[in-house]
Structure 1
C-alpha cells in the first residue's frame, strides 16, 4: 500500500490498489463507509468516590432534568494496560459536548436509513459504496498527500462570497458501479423523542420547512460532487433523493400539492415531471421498516425499497463507468488522502473506513469507564455488604474492581475469591486489574493494601466451604475483612448456590467487620445479609449484539433481571451479526467444534476483519484488532487441544475447529473441558493467560470457563455437553448459549448455525 512517504509517486493505479487492499470485494459487493454510524453520546464527567478515577456518567440530553451530585473530575490518572477492564481516553480532561435531543433523533435516523440501504444492496447484490455524513472539507485534505492531489478538483475551487461549498456535508453519497452517483439528504422530521407516548405525525408546515432546506442542500451537494468527478468521468450520471423515514408518501405529496413553489423546487431538483413522480423518487416511511425494529429488514420492506430503487437509481446504466473509473472515484472519496472521520465526544479525530476498524473503535468506546447515576450513587453510599445482580454487560465486575481499588487505597488487603471453576477466570481478571493498578499508580498511598487470591471448588467439594472460611478468617486485620466475590451464584437449584450462601453466612458470623461485595447474573436466593443492587442498564455491549442476548434474558426473567433503557444511546448500534452455516460437503461432524471446515471459515471471517494484521492501519485509524480480542465459544464438552502422553506423543488430536483455525495460520489457545480432565496444570496456566489476555492468541473455549470475561469479537459455536445437557430442549440450549456465550461479546458477534438433525446430517461424518 502506498503511504505518505511515497505521495509524489501516487497515480491512478496506486489509488486503485489502495481501494482493493482496504475493500477486497470492491467490484462485487456493497460497502458502507464508515461501516457503522457512531452516535453522539450524552456524558458528564465525574470522579468515582473513594478511588480518584475519572469516569464518564450517562445523563439525559439537554432540556431534560439536570444531573446533580456528580463529584468533580480528579486529576489522578488511571494506569494503562493491554488487558484493562476499561480503556484509556486520548484526552482524559476533555469536556464532552452538550448533546441535544435533536442529535439523538438525527443519529437514529442516519443509522435507520444506512442499515436499510446496506440490506438493500446486499439483497440485490449491488456493487456500490454508501458514504454517510461526507464532509466536503475532508476531501483530499491529508497534508501528506498534498503533492499527489494538488492538480485534482477541490470543493474550495467553487467557493464564492455567498456560498462556501467546502463547508458543506452530504448525508449520503452512493457511488454505484453501473448507475453512477446518488446524493441523498436526510431529515429526521417526524421522529418522536425517546420514550414519547402515542407519537403524532409531524405537522405539514414542519415537513415543508425541512424539505425546503433539504432541496437547497441537495443542489449544493450536486454541484460539488459533479465538480469532484469532472476529471475522472465528465458527464457522469448524478441523481438526488430525499430520505424522510418518518414522513409518509401521502403526507409528502399533500405538502407539495399545497405549496406550488416548493413543488417546483423539488421536481426541478429531482428531475421529476410532476408531484407523483417526485414522491416516487423520495424514500419515505412507506419504504422503510418501522423505527422500533428498523434492523429487521423484512422481505416486504426489501420489496418496497427495491421499487423505490428502480424508480430512482436502477432505471438506466451509465456507460461512462468502467471498473477502473469506478475504483478511481471511490479512491478519491475513501482513500487515505481523504479524511473519513467519525464523531468523537472528546474532539480527537478518529478515522474509520473498514469493518475491522469499526469493530476496534466501537469496542474501545464500549470499554470506556462509563457509569450510570445509580452506580455512582452506590459507590458514594459505600455499603459494607452488597450483591450486584443483573444481566450481562451492565458493569457489575467494573464496580467490583472500583470498590476493591478503594479498599486498597485505604490500606486494606483485598481477598479475591473464586468458589468454583466457572468463576476462576473472572476472579483472576479482577485480581489482575487490582494488582496492575497498585504497581502502576504514580502516587501510591503510604501503606497500600495487598491483593490476595483464593481459589476453591464448591461444586465438587463441600469441604472447600469450611476451608474457605478458615483461610479468609485468618486474613482478618484490625477486625475487618474485605472480600470480592465475582460470578457468584446463590441459586438453590445449583450445587454451588447454597454453599456460596453458607460461605457468606459463616464469614458474617465470624467477622463482624466483614466488607463483602458479590456479583452475579441471577437475582434468586440472594443471602439476606447482602443488600441486592440490581444493575440493568447495558453499558458494555453494542445493541446489535444486545438484541441477540436480550432474547435469552427475556426468557429467563424469573432468575435474571431484564435490561432497562438509560435514555441515552450506545456509542454505535454495531455491525450486523455475521452468520455462518455448519452445512455442506466440506463440513464434517454433528457440531461445528468437530469440523475442520468450520474452523477455516471462521478464520476467513476473522481475517476479513483484520484480526492480527498488526501495524498496517492508516494514520489516525484505531489500533487493529489483535488475536487476543477474539473468543470462540462452544458448550460442547468434546472441545480439546492435542492430548499428549508423558513422552510428549499426541494420543488424541485437537478438535476439528481448532485444526481448521491453525491451518489458516491463527495462533490458538484452547481452554476446553477435556483439558481440565487430562492436563489440569496447563488448564490452570491457560485460565490465567486468558483472564489477563497475556498472550496474543485466539481463545477457543468451553463456555463455562470464561464467565465474566469480554472480547470485542465472539464466535458462538452450538454444541452439547454430554453430561449436563441430557434431555434439555433446543430452546433451553439456545437460551444458555446466548446468555453465557453471546453475552461475552461487546462488538462483533459471529454465529454458526447448525441444520436440524436429518439422515443426511447424521451420516455426514
Structure 2
C-alpha cells in the first residue's frame, strides 16, 4: 500500500472484488515472483466424436493426426510453431524468475497472451485488461488484428514490459525484417491500448517498456536483417531506442536465451537501467492494480468439479477446461485419449450382462470412465446407479464417485445410492456377518430388478474378492447386471479375467507425477501394468511433488517416531496427518478435496502441486 507521505492515486485503489481476487490467487503478492502459467502448456488438439449413447466427447488427436492437419491447414501449423516458440521463451523466463527470486525482486511474468487462442472474452491480453478497467473513459479499445504472442512482465518497482514473440521459424533475414515491421506496428497499437485504456485512469501512470523476442532466430541473422532495414527508425521509435543506442539490444534471440550474460544484458536493457525504479510504482498500490487488471484468471475446467480450481490456465483445448456453471453446478470439460473413448463405445444388448473391470496405475482415467458410464446410465435410461464400496481403503473413492455422479447429472435425473460392503470378505474368507450382509443386499437388488429390468453398479478402488462374490450371487438370482469396477490391482479369479481391461496411458498425471508413481514397489515388480506413452506428447512436464516423510525406528524393542506404536504406518500416524492437513490448509483446499485424496499414495492437492507421503526409516521430518 502507499505510504502515508504519498497520496494514493484514486485509480489505484482496489475494489472489494479485486482485493478478494488478489488475496486468493496471489497471497504473497508483495514478496514473491509469479509465473503464469507456472509450467508451459501446449495447445492440445482434439476432435469431437459421438459415443454410441449419443454423447459428444472430445478425443485427443494423435501426433500423426496433428502432423497431417499441419500440412493441410495453416492455422494448425501456426499453433504448433507457436507452442514450440513459447516453450523456449518460458524456459528462458524461468531462469529470469529464478534470478529475480534470489535477488528478492517482486514481479509477475505472463508468457501466454496470444490473440484469439490463449485468451477468452477478448482478442488479446491487453484488451482483456482494458475491459476490466471500470474507470476507463474509452468504451471501445483498439482492435489488435495481428496474431502475435505476447510476453508481459509487471515489476513492482519498474512498471510494465510488453514483449512481442515472433514465432516464425525461417532463418531468413528478409523474413525476419517483415516480422520485425509487423511486431513494431503491433507493439505500437498494443502500447496505445495499455496507456490509454488500462493505465489512463491513474494520476501518475507507470512507464511502459517494450521488447521483441525471436526464439527461432539467431543473433547473426537478426543483425543481418537490421543492417538492411530501410525503415529502422520506426522500430527504434517503437522500442524507445535513443540516438546512439543499438536497437538489437532490445531483441532477445535464440542463442541469447541460454547465455546468462547476454540474457541478463537484454533484461536490464528492457528496463532501461532504472535501478531506482519508476516513481509511479512507489507504495505498491499501482502494482496491485496492474496485477488485478492483467492477471485475472480467465474461466477456460462436462463432469462436476468437486472443488474450485486454484489455477485456470489461459489455454484452449487442454486436458481440463472450466466451462462455467450449469444450473449452479461448476462443470468441467475433459478431453479423452482414444484408449478411454473406445472403452466407452462398448454398449451391450439389453438382455446381456455388461461387465467391465479396469486395471491400471493411478492417473490413467479409471475413475473418469466410471463417472462417465454412470452418467450415461442415469441420463439415457433414468436408472438408479448403485455405488459399491468394497473396502475401507475405498471409502474416499466411493464417496467421490457418488458425489460426482449426483452433481454431474443433477437433481431429478435419477438417483445414486451408496452401498457399503466393506469388511464382508477378508483374505478370501467371510467375516462375521459378511455373508448375511451380501445376501440381504442381493435380495434388495432382486426386488429392484423386478421393476427396472437391470441393476447398474459402479465400484472404484474395488476389492476383487467382494466383486466376484457379489456378481456370482446376482447371477444365481438371474439378475441382469451392468457392473463396471476399477482398481490398481483388483485381482479376480480366472473365470472372470475375460472382463478385465487394462488402461496404461496416463490421462491426468503429467510426467513428473508418472515418474514418482513408477517408483512404487507394485509398479517395479510388474503387479501393476507399466505406463505406456500417450498418443500425444504431454503438454508439460508437470508440477513438483512435495514429500512428507514419515519417521519411525526401532529402539529397545519399541517403535519410536511420529506417533509411537501407532506411528509405524503413515496412514495411522497423527503427525503425518497434521503435516498434510497444514499444507492443504495453506493451499486453501477444502475438506471434500482432502477426503478424495485420503486413499491415494500421490495426493493431487491442487492443479499446481502433488504430495507423496513416504515411510522412510530414520528420515528427517519434512
Say if 1:109 and 1:417 are closer, same or farther in 2 by CA, change over 3 A: same
The corresponding residue for 1:749 is 609
Query: 2:610 aligned with 1:636, yes or no?
Result: no
Are the aligned partners of 1:386 and 1:518 in contact in 2 as well (CA < 8 Å)? Answer: yes
The within-5 A match list for 1:69-88 is none
Say if 1:319 and 1:395 are closer, same or farther in 2 by CA, change over 3 A: closer
Task: Report deviation, 1:16.
Answer: 9.8
Are the aligned partners of 1:43 and 1:58 in contact in 2 as well (CA < 8 Å)? Answer: yes
What is the SS of the residue equivalent to 2:421? strand
2:536 to 562, 567, 577: 567
Query: 2:70 aligned with 1:106, yes or no?
Result: no
The corresponding residue for 1:419 is 390
Query: 2:412 aligned with 1:441, yes or no?
Result: yes
Q: Deviations over 1:328-363 (max 9, x none)?
A: 2x3553436x794637499xxxxxxx9945489977
Task: Report deviation, 1:429.
Answer: 3.4
Unaligned runs of 5+ in 1: 2-8, 67-97, 191-200, 290-300, 347-353, 491-495, 584-589, 596-633, 641-654, 669-692, 708-739
1:403 to 373, 385, 394: 373
The within-5 A match list for 1:434-583 is 440-442=411-413, 453-456=420-423, 458-459=425-426, 462-463=429-430, 474=443, 475=445, 477=449, 482-488=456-462, 515-522=482-489, 527=494, 529-540=497-508, 543=510, 546-553=511-518, 556=523, 558=526, 559-567=528-536, 576-577=543-544
The corresponding residue for 1:335 is 292
Task: Report deviation, 1:186.
Answer: 0.9
What is the SS of the residue equivalent to 1:175? strand
Say if 1:229 and 1:266 are closer, same or farther in 2 by CA, change over 3 A: same
Distance in 2 (CA, whole Å) between partners of 1:273 and 1:381 is 68
The within-5 A match list for 1:10-29 is 11-12=10-11, 14-15=13-14, 23=26, 25-29=28-32
Say if 1:242 and 1:319 are closer, same or farther in 2 by CA, change over 3 A: closer
Task: Report deviation, 1:216.
Answer: 2.8
Are the aligned partners of 2:548 and 2:614 in contact in 1 as well (CA < 8 Å)? Answer: yes
Distance in 1 (CA, whole Å) between partners of 2:67 and 2:587 is 50
Are the aligned partners of 1:658 and 1:700 in contact in 2 as well (CA < 8 Å)? Answer: no
Relative to the length of structure 1, the TM-score reads 0.55
Distance in 2 (CA, whole Å) between partners of 1:12 and 1:49 is 56
Task: Report deviation, 1:166.
Answer: 10
Distance in 1 (CA, whole Å) between partners of 2:219 and 2:247 is 10
2:128 to 132, 138, 141: 138
The within-5 A match list for 1:103-182 is 103-107=79-83, 109-110=85-86, 113-114=89-90, 116-125=92-101, 126-131=105-110, 133=113, 135-142=125-132, 145-146=134-135, 149-150=136-137, 171-182=150-161
The corresponding residue for 2:183 is 214
Distance in 1 (CA, whole Å) between partners of 2:32 and 2:274 is 19
Distance in 1 (CA, whole Å) between partners of 2:231 and 2:492 is 65
Distance in 1 (CA, whole Å) between partners of 2:536 and 2:430 is 47
Task: Report deviation, 1:547.
Answer: 2.0
The corresponding residue for 2:346 is 381
Are the aligned partners of 1:592 and 1:657 in contact in 2 as well (CA < 8 Å)? Answer: no
Distance in 2 (CA, whole Å) between partners of 1:314 and 1:526 is 72
What is the SS of the residue equivalent to 1:519? strand
Are the aligned partners of 1:182 and 1:239 in contact in 2 as well (CA < 8 Å)? Answer: yes
What is the SS of the residue equivalent to 2:131? coil
What is the SS of the residue equivalent to 1:100? helix
Say if 1:639 and 1:233 are closer, same or farther in 2 by CA, change over 3 A: same
Say if 1:165 and 1:385 are closer, same or farther in 2 by CA, change over 3 A: closer
The corresponding residue for 2:556 is none
Are the aligned partners of 1:38 and 1:342 in contact in 2 as well (CA < 8 Å)? Answer: no
Distance in 2 (CA, whole Å) between partners of 1:156 and 1:414 is 52
Distance in 2 (CA, whole Å) between partners of 1:551 and 1:660 is 18
Task: Report deviation, 1:636.
Answer: 1.0
Distance in 2 (CA, whole Å) between partners of 1:360 and 1:174 is 16
What is the SS of the residue equivalent to 1:381? coil
Are the aligned partners of 2:593 and 2:605 in contact in 1 as well (CA < 8 Å)? Answer: no
The corresponding residue for 1:725 is none
Are the aligned partners of 1:16 and 1:331 in contact in 2 as well (CA < 8 Å)? Answer: no
Are the aligned partners of 2:45 and 2:66 in contact in 1 as well (CA < 8 Å)? Answer: no
Distance in 2 (CA, whole Å) between partners of 1:660 and 1:371 is 31
Distance in 2 (CA, whole Å) between partners of 1:54 and 1:230 is 45
2:210 to 212, 234, 240: 240
The within-5 A match list for 1:239-388 is 239-256=209-226, 259-261=228-230, 269-270=238-239, 278-288=247-257, 305-313=263-271, 315-321=273-279, 323-324=281-282, 327-328=285-286, 330-335=287-292, 340=296, 342=298, 344=300, 356=310, 358=312, 364=322, 367-382=332-347, 384-388=354-358
- More strand per residue: 2
Relative to the length of structure 2, the TM-score reads 0.66
The corresponding residue for 1:706 is 599
What is the SS of the residue equivalent to 2:395? helix
Give the paired residue count: 547
Q: Deviations over 1:40-84 (max 9, x none)?
A: 55445555443x655444446997679xxxxxxxxxxxxxxxxxx
RMSD of aligned alpha carbons: 5.7
What is the SS of the residue equivalent to 1:440? coil
